[in-house]
Amino acid sequence: MENRVQIRSWKPEDAGPLAAICNNKKIWLNVRDTFPHPYTVGNAVEWISFTLGQKPIKNMAIVYNGNIAGSIGVTPKEDVYRKSIEIGYFVGEAYWGKGIATLAVAQMMEYIKTNFEVVRIYAEVFGHNKASMKVLKKNGFHLEGIREKAVIKNNEIMDDYVWVKFIER
């Protein structure tokens, strides 16, 4: 299984498959509002173009058996938080429950260690997204805290779970 999952830079030809995965309300319900819904091929083209200008690359495709299965990325923090980096990811509904996100996060952790000078990796997960919390736990993250009523998504106020992993240097 492990060699069937890889993360790599986005390519222009990934736009169609990316849009097909992203144009799903179940995906949208678990990501931030900057993520468009409905999600079009034009949105995918724009996103891929944006990622190709990043140095180092911060957002990558998750590929499973040669097919686009999702997306994973990081957001380095600044100023007094400059030793922290946020990780985020999603996998298309057709790929749920296969361990793909768990392997992609493990690969991204190695990428972070090589390309960023950080000591803290964290993820913010909506309270209803138990599958994402399992992915983080399997990758050695621990629950740092629950920010009660901290987010609003689809007009619902909910809790935000903060998961953390420290990198030993």
- Domain segments of the chain as ranges: 2-166
User: Is the per-residue pLDDT at 2 higher than 70?
Assistant: no
The H or E element that residue 30 is part of is none
What is the token pair recorded at 21?
């995965």
Cα gap 99→92, rounded to integer Å = 12
Task: Tell me which H or E stretch contains 137.
Answer: helix 130-138
One-character DSSP codes across 34-51: TS-SS--HHHHHHHHHHH
Q: What is the DSSP letter of 143?
A: E
Residue 157: pLDDT band (50, 70, 90) is very high
pLDDT of residue 1: 63
The answer to whether domain 2-166 has CATH 3.90.1010.10 is no
pLDDT digits (tens, 9 = 90+) for 39-82: 999 999 999 999 999 999 999 999 999 999 999 999 999 999 99
